[in-house]
Structure 1
Amino acid sequence: MTPDANVLKNFDTWKKFLGNRVVQAEKLGMSEDTISKLAFEIGEFLDQKVDPANSSNRAIKELWDVGNDEEKQTIAKLMVKLAKNNA
């Protein structure tokens, strides 16, 4: 398993990892809207391909699964904000 794959096992590590990527994207000039759209796409990928490794990720997946696209976009935006605060 790669070091990046281990990131998904611990929610605090995941937030820090994601936060660092958000900061990097902003430094490259990406807009908040673009970052949120990418977070949505990552959420879709994780929902389909990754079994949550902890209870925090499981709760987010369950919220994602019951949400419509607009609600999922809100979750993605909130995850970006949360991650940015943990960078």
Structure 2
Amino acid sequence: MSVLENFQDWKSFLASRVAQAASSGMEQETMENMAYQIGNYLSNQVDPKNEQERLLKELWDAGNEEQRHAMAGAMINFVQNKKQ
């Protein structure tokens, strides 16, 4: 089963990767740029597997570049600050 099939699994996966990047010294801006690139890839190449992913895709597609960067940063903050 892919982490994309269950939103809780996706959040846990993302949180673990963000924590790993932060602990290895990656700067917040670099993480946000990577999240932006991943968001573009997911939006263009991956069919959403659940309602939450569908909503994120629709929001991503509706936004301009600046809004997408903000959304990528918000996702990082979300998983960094969310109690799992």
With structure 1 as the length reference, what TM-score do the two structures score?
0.90
For 2:60 and 2:50, locate their aligned partners in 1 and report how far apart those are by CA, in whole Å: 15
Alignment of 1:19-38 (within 5 A): 19-38=15-34
Q: RMSD of aligned C-alpha atoms?
A: 1.1
Unaligned runs of 5+ residues in structure 1 are none
In structure 2, the residue matched to 1:76 is 72
Residue 81 (structure 1) shift: 1.0
Whether the 8 Å contact between 1:36 and 1:80 is mirrored in structure 2 is: yes
Identity of matched residues, %: 42
Runs (4+) off by over 3 Å: none
Unaligned runs of 5+ residues in structure 2 are none
Equivalent residue of 1:52, what SS?
coil
1:12 aligns with 2:5: no
For 1:82 and 1:15, locate their aligned partners in 2 and report how far apart those are by CA, in whole Å: 9
With structure 2 as the length reference, what TM-score do the two structures score?
0.93
Letter in 2 for 1:54: N
Whether the 8 Å contact between 1:52 and 1:58 is mirrored in structure 2 is: yes
For 1:12 and 1:68, locate their aligned partners in 2 and report how far apart those are by CA, in whole Å: 27
